[in-house]
Amino acid sequence: MSDRVYNFSAGPSMLPLSVLEQAASEMTNYRGSGMSVMEMTHRGKIYQAIFDEVKADLRRVMSVPESHEILFMQGGATFQFAAVPLNLMGENGTADYAVTGNFAKLAAKEAKKYGNVNIVASTEETNNTTIPTQDELKLSDNASYFYYCANNTIYGTEWNYVPETKAPIVCDMSSNILSKPVDVSKFGVLYAGVQKNMAPAGMAVVIIDKALAGKELPYTPTIMNYKTMIDKDSMYNTPPCYTIYMLGLTLKWVEENGGVAGMEKLRNERSSMLYNFLDESKLFKGAAEKAARSGMNVTFRTGNEELDALFVKEATAKGFANLKGHRNTGGMRASIYNAMPVEGVKALVDFMKEFEAKNG
């Protein structure tokens, strides 16, 4: 990898090297236009062609049905914590939230400003190391929607099923989107901050069943109104033009590497390599329960904070960047998103074996 490190950051995270190289080659003169995509008007023909192609590519890669619209919205996933209840809660409405980590907790807290929130499950008692089963979800009879976060970046857990509910399902898929096939038709709203598996930070992709739009609360800000964004094709205001362009390059890379099925094969190879080592290690221990383990964020520790700190320091010196765990959990975390080459995980495991031999 020459002068590039293996970047295990939870986000913003590494992008495919070929994507960065193509972006660099087009930085000052996009395909003979004489200007960068960064400089283009979003109302021009050149950029409109880029926009349309990215949207069509995402629809194809994720098999998005015609019943659903694709939106590119600024503000990242956190923007959607408010946009979802404002658009879907309804007057004096109730929404069901499964709280299995930090971001679902923040989303539920935000939703309480606009209506009633029923916590159908919480994993706080297990320190968010588990995922509830279908039988453990205490669903409401009158919920406007059911909300969950598919992958919990901080704690290293992931839902391995789509819950069955009467209400439309809203899912924050920020940290595992494009990593495996998804039946989009099962979701009322599916959204993802793009800075983990898709593009540079600054945007969320929102995929919404068009039948759910147009029911927003009367005080919903126009920029958060799904119906407005659908009607204006995500261009009510200037969209995050360059981030959309970068998403397009990443989507081409995903297709060149087998699509989401190819990404799933690679994610299984990477995560199995790490988890198999952790299960055999006498020094390192995985933090999440086995049934709830994430294929994207592997959390682990030694049980000794000083040893954890030494591991992070020595790993960084060896070219393994951003392995320090989140401040809420401590320990270590290896985020192994789509762009992480299998060789990077193999090299990390080899280093962990060496560290264990010296410090175990």
CATH of the domain at 114: 3.40.640.10
Looking at 256, 277, 303, which one is the last position of a domain?
256
Whether the CB-CB separation of 308 and 316 falls below 8 Å is answered with: no
pLDDT at 3: 87
In this structure, the answer to whether residues 126 and 51 fall within a common structural domain is yes
pLDDT, tens digit (0-9, with 9 covering 90-100), for 200-227: 999 999 999 999 999 999 999 999 999 9
Cα→Cα distances 221→39, 46, 228, 229, 347, Å: 28, 30, 10, 11, 48
Number of domains in the chain: 2
Looking at 207, 237, 256, which one is the last position of a domain?
256
pLDDT at 358: 96
In this structure, the answer to whether residues 41 and 183 fall within a common structural domain is yes
Q: Is residue 158 part of a domain?
A: yes
Q: Is residue 337 part of a domain?
A: yes
Distance CA 55, CA 30 (A): 19
Question: For residue 170, what pLDDT band results from cuts at 50, 70 and 90?
Answer: very high
Q: Domain span at residue 307?
A: 259-359
Looking at 256, 274, 296, which one is the last position of a domain?
256
Q: Is 175 helix (H, G, I), strand (E, B) or coil?
A: coil
Tokens found for residue 142: 């009158």
In this structure, the answer to whether residues 277 and 202 fall within a common structural domain is no
pLDDT, tens digit (0-9, with 9 covering 90-100), for 226-249: 999 999 999 999 999 999 999 999
In this structure, the answer to whether residues 250 and 275 fall within a common structural domain is no
pLDDT, tens digit (0-9, with 9 covering 90-100), for 8-26: 999 999 999 999 999 999 9
pLDDT, tens digit (0-9, with 9 covering 90-100), for 29-59: 999 999 999 999 999 999 999 999 999 999 9
pLDDT, tens digit (0-9, with 9 covering 90-100), for 78-94: 999 999 999 999 998 99
In this structure, the answer to whether residues 127 and 206 fall within a common structural domain is yes
In this structure, the answer to whether residues 194 and 116 fall within a common structural domain is yes
In the chain, % of residues over pLDDT 90? 97
CB neighbours of 180 closer than 8 A, spacing ≥ 6?
260, 263, 264, 267, 295
pLDDT at 1: 44
In this structure, the answer to whether residues 22 and 170 fall within a common structural domain is yes
Distance CA 275, CA 258 (A): 24
pTM over 0.95: yes
In this structure, the answer to whether residues 131 and 35 fall within a common structural domain is yes
Q: What is the CATH number of the domain that holds 266?
A: 3.90.1150.10
pLDDT, tens digit (0-9, with 9 covering 90-100), for 273-302: 999 999 999 999 999 999 999 999 999 999
Question: For residue 328, what pLDDT band results from cuts at 50, 70 and 90?
Answer: confident
Q: Is residue 7 part of a domain?
A: no
Q: Is residue 12 part of a domain?
A: no
Q: Is residue 303 part of a domain?
A: yes
Q: Is residue 251 part of a domain?
A: yes
Q: Is residue 10 part of a domain?
A: no
pLDDT at 2: 65
Q: Is residue 33 part of a domain?
A: yes
In this structure, the answer to whether residues 153 and 276 fall within a common structural domain is no
In this structure, the answer to whether residues 170 and 41 fall within a common structural domain is yes
Q: What is the amino acid identity at position 90?
A: G
Inter-axis angle of helices 45-61 and 241-256, nearest 10: 40
CB neighbours of 299 closer than 8 A, spacing ≥ 6?
155, 156, 286, 287, 288, 325, 329, 331, 332, 333
pLDDT at 122: 98
In this structure, the answer to whether residues 230 and 279 fall within a common structural domain is no
In this structure, the answer to whether residues 28 and 85 fall within a common structural domain is yes
